[in-house]
Amino acid sequence: MRLLCSIILSATMLVPFTALACEMPQSAGREDLYGHTSSRSGIDGLNANFRDSVAAMMDAAATEMGGSMNIYSGYRSIEHQQRLWDEAATRYPDPEERDNWVARPGGSMHQYGLATDMRWNGQRIEYGSPISDWMSANMGKFGLTRPLGNEGWHVEPVGGRANKDAYLAGASMECNEAFSDNILSIPPIVLMPWQEEYSGYRGGGA
């Protein structure tokens, strides 16, 4: 089964977007991953290898830290991302400031199934917390990283932005082009200094 999503072509200016068909592979997730996202598509739309890596990290965290880690936001449709962008306007009316906290539709790794937002014991994970420190020390073992310096809960595969050919295998040509156009062209956000693979990137909020 394939998941049809639309991708925005323009991400550097706040203008009406042009929709582009983007077919992302979809596969059923583990039963224990369901129940925390708004729908099962939030799990099923994730890149399967990335999803397995996140699940392995969750299991290890539960064993070693004695708590519960879950995915509360995974794959997002373009409509979902548009809603988040619009809702953020109340707090961040300036689009340039809003870019630091919420990605514009088409510019989020979530829309390509390559990002998850995590909670620990029901709470959003913040940098400096014990579980955050555990993640910093251990998530590399699972091929995972947290590239956004202002979002301790946001997880991506290592090299996910730089190696799109590997992570978007099976996606349409249009989707690959949209990934390049949007992810590599969105307004900047400060990435964590150790993320060398992102040194040439203009990142965005989640």
Domain boundaries, the chain: 2-198
What's the pLDDT tens digit per position in 97-118? 888 888 888 888 998 999 999 9
CATH number of this structure's domain 2-198: 3.30.1380.10
User: Is the pLDDT reported for residue 172 higher than 60?
Assistant: yes
pLDDT mean over 37-41: 87
- Out of 15-29, 45-59, 66-80, 185-199, pick the least confident: 185-199
pTM beyond 0.75, yes or no: yes
pLDDT for the residue numbered 166: 83
User: Is the pLDDT reported for residue 187 higher than 80?
Assistant: no
pLDDT mean over 150-166: 89
* Residue that wins the pLDDT comparison between 132 and 13: 132
DSSP string, the chain: -EEEEEEES--SS-SPPPEEEEEEE-----GGGTTSSSSTHHHHTS-HHHHHHHHHHHHHHHHHHSS-EEEEE----HHHHHHHHHHTTTT--SHHHHTTTSPPTT--GGGGT--EEEEETTEE--TTSHHHHHHHHHGGGGTEE--BTT-TTEEEETTTTTTHHHHTTTS-HHHHHHHHHHHTTSPP-PBPTT-GGGTT------
pLDDT for the residue numbered 186: 55
User: Is the pLDDT reported for residue 126 higher than 60?
Assistant: yes
User: Is the pLDDT reported for residue 19 higher than 60?
Assistant: no
- Out of 21-25, 59-63, 184-188, pick the least confident: 184-188
| Model confidence band, residue 122 (pLDDT cutoffs 50, 70, 90) | very high
